[in-house]
Structure formats: C-alpha cells, structure tokens
Structure 1
Amino acid sequence: MDGPSKPASCSPWFDRTYYLGVLRENKSVACALSASSISTLAGYPLDSLKSRLQTNKTGISVVRLASLVYREEGFKGFYRGLWIPLITISAVRTASFTIYTGTKDFCRDNGLLLRPSVINAALAGGISGALAGALISFGSAPFELVKVRRQLEYTIAQSRGVTFQKPPNTMEAVRDIIRHNGTLGLYLGFRLHFLRDTLGTALYFCEYDAMRHLLGRKRSGAQGATPTWFPLPVSLVPFVCGSFAGVTSWALIYPLDVVKTKVQQRALAGNPPRGVFETLRRLVRGPDAKDPKPIFEGLARIYRGLGVSAVRSITTHGLLWTFYDMTSQYIDKLN
C-alpha cells in the first residue's frame, strides 16, 4: 500500500514529516470529519423540527411548533437524540466523501470522464455519489431509525396509548425497537432509506460538481476565477454550491423522505403496515378514498416542512463544503 514510510532512525512521535504525510494521505477523511461535525451541530434543531412537521396532522407552523417544543421540552428538545446522529452522520459523511473521492480518483486514473465539460463533471459526481449513497445506507439505516424514534417519541407514545414522565434515552430507545420488532427491526423502512440515499446522494454530488465546474473549478480540483456572468468571490463558491446542491437535491427526493418517515413511524408505533403507494396516496388524497382531498392540498402536505428543510440544507451543506475546502487548503499549506 503506497503512503508515507515511517523512518526507523527516529521516533515517529517527533517526526513531523511522517505525520504530515499520513494527514495528506487521508485528507478527505480529515476534511469531511471536521466539516461534518460543525455542520451537524448547526443544522440539527432544524432537522428535528422537520421530522415533527412531516408527521404532524394539524398543519402547525414552524414558529408555533418551535415554541411548543421549547415550552414542553425546553431547549434540549431541539437536540433530542443528538449524540447518535452527531457521531454517525459525521462517520457516514466521512465514509461517503471517501467513497466519492475514491471513485472519482478511479475514473481519473483510468481515463474515464476526463473531458473538461459540465456533463463529464456531473456524470463523475453522480456516479460517485450513487455508489457512496448505496453503500453507506447499509450502515446508516439503523442509526437514522433511532434518530426518528427519538425525535418522534412523544407522537409514537401517544399512538401506543403510553404516557411517561421521563422520555427514554437513546439506548432505551434502541432496546425498545428490538423488543417490539426484533433485531432486524433496526432496518424498518430500509428499502425506502436505500432508495432515498442512493438517489439523493447521486443528485447531490452531481449538482455540486456541475456547479463547481460552471463556477471555475478545474478538473484537477484547483479553483479558477469565477465566470463574468456570475462574479462570485472565490471564498463563497463552496458555500453557494453546497447550499444549491443540498436544497435542490433534497427538494427532489423530499416526498420519498416523507413516505419513509411515515412508514417508520407507523411501524415503531405498532400500527398495521401500509404499502409505499398506499401511504403516498393517503398523504396526497387523504385517508378516505371515497372523498379525496384536492391534489394541491395533498401535495402541500407532502412538502410540509420543506421550508425548514431548505434552511437546514443551506446551513449544513453550505458550512460543510466551506469548512471542507478550508481544511483541505490548510492541510495543503502545512510543511
């Protein structure tokens, strides 16, 4: 395996050159891990509100819901179930970026999709993203299910007719899922999770790489001057591209995420399962097939919480790519 060789003549603890070599060999890991931790902390309260809005039946506003959460659960209610996502999202994004960069490196080393065009840049990003999303979904599905369980535990408890003085912690939530659904219960809704992550990650990296190409990034990875038709300061390019890719890709797969969350909520509450298309039909046209709601009203329900998700995407993905590039440049300048 290529990489920096450890000198035998001196202690590696004092060999700066050796550790700088290790850091550069694993630059994508270091960049993704640090950037993801910061962006997850910044966006988690909005993600929590998004999950609550998706399953709320009253059409409550974001501001009203936020005040209700604060009154009933306090400030910590916005960060309920944070620790598993903070660890796992950082780990998942790190693995995702590693697979994404590794796949792009493979394409480059084998002369694939090297033409300096936006189509080639988009295809390279999309293929790399699809592979990353598909592989990572197997590890991320149980953790996201636990996150949904924690965020919606009051709603789930109400569905079960259960009341509690103190909500269960994360480990108690895991044990509760296994007790009611078995070990494989941690993969409730996996097919939807797999489809969402594969499509979503492919769209995300496809759009990001295409936009970075349009805004002056070379295929070598170096950022050139931005075009005259969009004279954006170079320092803002990662934030703008990350925010754009995050918002648009999320908007496209948002209905799938709503269905996934609803299917998982019903399963966690012990309610009889419904098929994917039946769940989607009931969300769009209402529970009564003989008296369907207007389709636009149903679509508005499907996209409930999209506004707060858009703000979350702008925050998390803008910060993610900003700190990713900052960390990458910092590592490159070390000597």
Structure 2
Amino acid sequence: MGLSQTQKDLIAGSAGGITQVLVGQPFDIVKVRVQTAAPGTYKSPLDCAAKLLKNEGPLGFYKGTLTPLLGIGACVSIQFGALEWAKRFFGRRNGGKELSLAELYASGAIAGAANTIVAGPVEHIRIRLQTQPDNPRLYKGPLDCARKLYAQNGIAGVFKGQVATVCRDGIGYGFYFLAYEALVQRHIRKNGGTREDISPLMSLGYGAIAGYALWASIYPLDVVKSKLQTDSLDPKKRVYSGMVDCFRKTWRAQGWRGFTGGLEPTLIRSPFANGATFVAFELAMRLMGGDKHEHMVMPDPTA
C-alpha cells in the first residue's frame, strides 16, 4: 500500500525542515543574540560571532540545536502539509486552474498559522537555550527548559510570545509561499512540463527569493517576538506587557534601528537555509513518486 499524498507532503516537509535547521542554525543563533542583547553588547553580527566562537567554541553555533532539529522539522512538515492541502482546496474551488496570487498567499498564510502550534513553544525553548549563560546554566536541555517554563507559568509559560508568533508566521509565510509558488507557476508557464522538471538549482534560487520575501515582510515582528520570548517569566520583572508595548518601548529606546538587530546574519542565512529547504522538499517528493498537484500550477487555458 503506497503513501497517501498527505503523508508524502509531511515526510517531504520534514526533510526540508531538518535541512533548514542544519544549514541555518549558526546564523540563527547570532541573529537571536544580537536581537536580544542590550544595546552596545556587540559591535556587529560579526563581532557577536567572533565572541561566540572564542567563548563557546565551534559547537556554540549549534547551541540549542536539538529542539529546532526535532521541532522545526515538525513545523516545516506541518507547513508543507497545510500548504498542499490549501492549494488542493483552492484548486478544487477554481476548477483546477492556475492559482491566483491571492489564493497562493492565503495558502501560505494558512500554512504559517497552522505551524505555530509547534513553532511557538519550540522557538521559545530554543531562544531560552541560545541566550542562557554558560555559568550558571539555567537549563540542562530542551526538556528541562520546557519543564521549568511550565512549572513557573503553566502552559502560558511554554507558549510565551504565541500571539506574536501567529501574527509573524501568518503574514510571513503568506509572502514566503506566494513568492515560491508564483515563481514555480511562472517557470512552468514559460517552459512547459511540471514542477518535477524544475532543476534543483532553480528550486534553490526560487527558495532563496522566497526567503527574502518572508523576512522583508516580518522582520520587525520577529524582533518583537524574540524580545517577548526572552523577557522575564516573572510578571513583576517583565519589561514588556505585550506586543504593542514592546513596539513602543523599542522605538522610544532605539528608533527604527531597534527593529533591525540581527538583520545581517538573517539576510546571509536566508538564501542558503530557505533555498535548501525547498530543494530538499522537492527532491524528497520526487523520490516518493512525485506530487499530485501539477494541475494547479499549469497555465490557465482561459487566460
């Protein structure tokens, strides 16, 4: 008995997610530390990377990797599973025609929102592990961190920053998958064939562009999310009461520069991590016998 299309979507998404973590983790830890450090702690992202290497060694760049390796793999699996479901849903509604830009954006937004049930706590735990001091260490590992977060604040402690995560991913992944799928549709419209005929190199390039579309649409929100998730768990010691308060205080303290911390490593990381994600997804899908939604990326015969 063969795999169902949904199972293929989830497995290929997991392959993409694991690849994304392994490629992007060193850049991500520098981004998070620059985003959440007090002003003046680092002269630049390169200074942050140099200090991290000096103080924690090469493995410091993979600090807290176990959580995203498992969690982001699950997140990306959910993303692609929800994306493909939404594309098939809109494809049935429009009679199998090429999906419109609005339908592609909606599919991506659904995928982004769906993945936050896992992404929220996973990223919170990862950020706590990435920013904790080496001596004394607050958490022994991901499970210990999750346990202590729950012990301090219950389920709200584990899902701290969840509203910001939903807003970020709903908006960002709308643009992310819109960019990638629109480029795939354009490629097929121009060259014919199906998405299986698109070379890995082209998928890499389209994924890189999609990554830039993602971050261009949400970077300030990502900064706010990181600040909220590293804020104190003790309500009496919290710096921010919520998203709006965080925006306001960050603007007052640093102006627009307060929303660009860690941008450089993110822009450097994005084409590699996101390009690799889509290549891994597409190749995994082909190894499992291809996908079944080519009709949704073929040219509209009525156009």
TM-score, normalization by structure 2: 0.84
Amino acid at match of 1:189: G
- Asked whether 1:105 is paired with 2:88, we answer yes
The alpha-carbon distance between structure 1 residues 264 and 221, as it changes in their structure 2 partners (threshold 3 A), is farther
Query: Following the alignment from structure 2 to structure 1, what is the Cα–Cα distance between the partners of residues 137 and 162?
Result: 31
Alpha carbons 1:189, 1:263 under 8 Å: kept? yes
| Aligned counterparts of 2:166 and 2:220: Cα–Cα separation in 1 | 14
* One-letter identity of the residue aligned with 2:265: V
1:42 and 2:23 matched: yes
Q: Residue type of the partner of 2:18?
A: S
> 3-state DSSP class of the match of 2:241?
coil
In the alignment, which of 74, 88, 95 is matched to residue 57 of structure 2? 74
SS at match of 2:226: helix
Name the SS of the counterpart of 1:28 in structure 2.
helix
Percent identical pairs in the alignment equals 27
Number of residue-to-residue matches in the alignment: 285
Query: Which residue matches 2:229?
Result: 264
Q: Distance in 2 between matches of 1:76 and 1:224?
A: 37
List structure 1 segments (4+ residues) > 4 angstroms apart after TM superposition: none
Structure 1 residue 269: deviation in Å?
6.8
Does the aligned pair in 1 maintain the 2:121–2:158 contact within 8 Å?
yes
Residue in 1 aligned with 2:247? Answer: 280
Alignment of 1:155-170 (within 5 A): 164=136, 168-170=140-142
Deviation at 1:138, TM superposition (A): 2.1
Distance apart, 1:95 and its partner CA: 1.4
Whether the aligned pair in 2 keeps the contact of 1:47 and 1:309 (CA below 8 Å) is yes
Gaps of 5+ in 1: 1-17, 158-162, 226-232, 287-292
Partner of 2:32: 51
Residue type of the alignment partner of 2:45: V
- Kept in 2, the 8 Å contact 1:121–1:209? The answer is no
Aligned match of 1:202: 174
Deviation string for 1:277-327 (max 9, x for gaps)?
A: 2321222231xxxxxx6xxxx222311211211122111110111122222
- In the TM superposition, residue 168 of structure 1 has moved relative to its aligned partner by 2.9
With normalisation by structure 1, the TM-score equals 0.77
Q: For residue 329 of structure 1, what is the amino acid of its counterpart?
A: R
Structure-2 change in CA distance of 1:224 and 1:69 (3 Å): closer
**Which letter maps to 1:74?**
G
Secondary structure of 2:136's counterpart equals coil
Q: Distance in 1 between matches of 2:148 and 2:243?
A: 24
* Residue 177 (structure 1) aligns with: 149
Shift of 1:211: 1.9
Identify which range, 169-178 or 138-147, moves more after superposition: 169-178
- Unaligned 5+ segments in structure 2 are 291-303
Shift of 1:46: 0.8
CA contact (8 A) 2:203 2:278 kept: yes
User: Does the CA-based 8 Å contact 1:32-1:90 persist in structure 2?
Assistant: yes
Shift of the alpha carbon at 1:239?
0.9
Q: Is the 8 A contact 2:105 2:178 kept in 1?
A: yes
Decide whether aligned partners of structure 1 residues 83 and 217 sit closer, same or farther in structure 2, where only a CA change above 3 A counts.
Answer: farther
1:146 equivalent in alignment to 2:118: no
Q: Note the C-alpha offset of 1:169.
A: 2.1
Root-mean-square deviation (Å): 2.6
| Local SS of the residue matching 2:275 | helix
Residue identity in the other structure for 1:267: S
